[in-house]
Amino acid sequence: MNTLIGELKNKMELICILSSGKGTWAQVSGLIKHGDWDKIILIGDDFSSQFQILDKKDKTEFIKVDLKKKLVDLKDELLKKLKDKFDGMEVACSIASGDGKEHMALISALISIPVGIRFTALTKEGVVFL
């Protein structure tokens, strides 16, 4: 039983928003390349589907959402599309891309699943959890 708890505790999945600012995609790309992720979930709209990452493609899933929706509607769409996506009890979350409305909708949806959130970023020292 303890082994299973240990495996769940060590399992880390990454979820990132990809919004319209291509400049912020470098942070997401770096996190994907430099992190050791069990699963990678990218969230975005039609424009964001242009994001290409060759590394870890087999672990990556893109989930299309309508980022133009109102806050509550976006949260509900995210909750519906994310509720069965996670194997672990917490996720690494990057909000380097996107705006406040998108961040609030994602965080709200993750809390509602429920799943714990560990914010993550790529720094000069490597991938860090905040």
pLDDT digits (tens, 9 = 90+) for 112-128: 999 999 999 999 999 99
Stated pTM of the model = 0.86
Q: Are 97 and 19 in contact (CB under 8 A)?
A: yes
**Which tokens sit at 73?**
């509607």
CATH classification of 2-129 is 3.40.50, yes or no?
yes
Query: At 21, which amino acid appears?
Result: G
Per-residue pLDDT averaged across 24-47, rounded? Answer: 91
